[in-house]
């Protein structure tokens, strides 16, 4: 049985990306060397935080197909960037190697789910009666008494 989505918090992809960000911020970033504090650590911190934020912000524009789509595209880009940053963390600094591998796999799943949501959303039209492309002055039934 599918759950009703009443808020961006109900989206599985939001929940997964939020929880993954917490793990990266608490358990991986603090173990990076000091010289990466303003580069890799900062970039990784920003990208993991951006994903759930973009999903939440985009959800508020879900009635605009292209509005939500743009935010999902940006979230996908941030997720892919996160994969690269975590890979660099693991491969350059050997920080939390097993956890990094697990988080890379998690962000690969997150990226695929964002892509699927974006693909499905293209065909979804939450507000058909208010579609901007339609002539909103034209009554759908020229004779409302029929």
Give CA–CA dist 35/40, Å, rounded: 9
Instruction: Read off the pTM.
Output: 0.81
pLDDT of 124 reads: 62
Is residue 63 situated within a structural domain?
A: yes
Inside any domain, residue 137:
no
Output the average pLDDT for the chain. Answer: 85
Q: Is residue 2 part of a domain?
A: no
Q: Which CATH number fits the domain that encloses residue 91?
A: 1.20.1440.60
In a domain, 71, yes or no: yes
Residue 145 lies inside a defined structural domain of this protein:
no
Helices and strands, counts by H and E, the chain: 4, 0
Q: Has residue 142 got a pLDDT over 80? A: no
| Contacts for 137-141: CB closer than 8 Å, 24+ residues apart | none
| Structural domains counted in the chain | 1
Spatial contact of 65 and 42, defined as CB atoms under 8 Å apart? no
Q: Residues of the chain with pLDDT > 90: what percent?
A: 68
- Segment 102-120 mean pLDDT: 95
Residue 140 lies in a domain: no
Domain that holds residue 24: 8-125
pLDDT-derived band at 139 (thresholds 50, 70, 90) equals very low
Rounded mean pLDDT of 65-79? Answer: 92
Residue 25 placed within a domain = yes
């Amino acid at each position: 049985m599918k759950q009703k989505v009443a808020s961006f918090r109900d989206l599985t992809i939001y929940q997964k990306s939020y929880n993954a960000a917490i793990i990266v911020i608490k358990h991986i970033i603090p173990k990076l060397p000091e010289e990466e504090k303003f580069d890799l650590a900062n970039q990784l911190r920003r990208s993991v935080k951006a994903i759930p934020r973009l999903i939440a912000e985009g959800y508020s524009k879900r009635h605009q197909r292209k509005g939500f789509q743009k935010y999902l595209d940006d979230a996908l880009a941030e997720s892919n960037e996160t994969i690269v940053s975590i890979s660099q963390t693991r491969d350059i600094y050997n920080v939390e190697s097993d956890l990094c591998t697990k988080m890379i796999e998690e962000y690969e799943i997150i990226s695929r789910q964002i892509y699927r949501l974006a693909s499905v959303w293209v065909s979804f039209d939450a507000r058909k009666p208010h579609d901007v492309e339609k002539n909103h002055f034209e009554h759908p039934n020229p004779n409302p008494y029929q």
